[in-house]
Structure 1
Amino acid sequence: MFGSLARDSIRQAITRAERLTTELIRTVETLFARFPLDEENKALRARLVDQRARALSEWLDTQSARDSNGDDEAWRLRPCPTLTFVNGAGELDQKHDQDLRDTCVMLLDRAGCDLLTICDITGHSYRSAQIIVKHYRARNADRADAGIDRLELQVRKDGMKG
């Protein structure tokens, strides 16, 4: 989540990540205190959750800029702030390994891998990988757009109007 600087050894990168995790946990109450959640007004609550997310993002950006001296080329592995986020309840949350495994299944599917290959790589059962692909595949906007384009061509070819 915090990235790895090119100048750091693996041990230094781990130490930095541990330090930033501790600092974030210690800071989060203060960071979110400016945006107390309103339990009654749903619109206000949603705005405050968004403001908490912005505050977290700014904090993460500040830490990254400080540690890299503002040099984008200083990273061996760039920070991935989307792994830590503010959830719908307005609380600090993190992606879990299961979220990343499902993402990997979908990236492999989009790369053209068959289900058996996906299972070999990720360790999912065939049924589990099939359920993941079935669940998420419809959420590919490019594939959906291409499907609509094919439908349009078919409708024109068949002479339908409308």
Structure 2
Amino acid sequence: MSTARAVALFGILAHDTVHQAIVRSERLASELTRNVEWLFAPFPLDEGNKAQRARAVDQRARALAECLDAQATRDSNSDDTAWFLKPCPSLMFVNGAGELDQKHVQDLRDTCVMLLDRAGCDLLTICDITGHSYRTAQTIVKHYRACNAARADSGIDMLELQVRKDGMKG
């Protein structure tokens, strides 16, 4: 796991130096990798039973989320103000095969392109910031934004209203 990803995954405590944050994050990432079999052991994958396998993958994802949340709670002593940079647990996930996986640099670069696009940056500015070629940035925006940006934005607005109405939390 890259150092930057580990630091983003486990966050930076306000009282830590950069060196302390790196050492802590790399230690925690290493521990997680070493203990993943133990974490996932209660949820074996049955290759012959698709429904059971899907449940096990979901249970593994929930166990990972709970593990990362518990670590953040321990590190901050349940104090959200203890963070200089809050942990980003979505960088680590359980993939469709039921294995521990992580977001890759390319995933994050594409996300950055889309965040810049949503912020109103033009493609040349996006290219200057991300280092993408104009053609690549255009392809990413076209792929993720949809053909009709206004319709996609309207759909997201409707989804947000529905989520609020149903009381869901993200």
Q: What secondary structure does 2:10 align onto?
A: coil
In the comparison of the two structures, how many residue pairs are matched?
147
Distance across 1 between alignment mates of 2:31 and 2:102: 16
Aligned-partner residue type, residue 98 of structure 2: G
How does 1:72-151 map onto structure 2 within 5 Å? 72-138=80-146, 143-144=151-152, 146=154
Aligned-partner residue type, residue 77 of structure 1: L
Aligned-partner residue type, residue 8 of structure 1: D
Q: CA RMSD in A?
A: 1.8
Q: What secondary structure does 1:90 align onto?
A: coil
Q: Which of structures 1 and 2 has the bigger CA Rg?
A: 1
* Residue of structure 2 equivalent to 1:8: 16
Unaligned runs of 5+ in 2: 1-8, 156-170
Query: Structure 1 residues 89, 140: CA separation in 2 closer, same or farther (over 3 Å shift)?
Result: farther
Aligned-partner residue type, residue 154 of structure 2: A
Unaligned runs of 5+ in 1: 148-162
Shift of 1:83: 0.1
CA deviations over 1:64-121 (Å, ceiling 9, x no partner): 1111111111000000000000001000001011111000000111111111111011
Amino-acid identity (%): 77
* Residue of structure 2 equivalent to 1:32: 40
Distance across 1 between alignment mates of 2:67 and 2:107: 24
Distance across 2 between alignment mates of 1:139 and 1:27: 44
How does 1:57-76 map onto structure 2 within 5 Å? 57-76=65-84
Query: Structure 1 residues 123, 72: CA separation in 2 closer, same or farther (over 3 Å shift)?
Result: same
Query: Structure 1 residues 31, 43: CA separation in 2 closer, same or farther (over 3 Å shift)?
Result: same
Aligned-partner residue type, residue 10 of structure 1: V
CA deviations over 1:42-81 (Å, ceiling 9, x no partner): 1211111000000001111111111111111100000000
TM-score, length of structure 1 as denominator length: 0.86
Distance across 2 between alignment mates of 1:46 and 1:76: 37
Distance across 1 between alignment mates of 2:84 and 2:105: 22
Q: What secondary structure does 1:7 align onto?
A: coil
Shift of 1:40: 1.4
Query: Structure 1 residues 17, 114: CA separation in 2 closer, same or farther (over 3 Å shift)?
Result: same
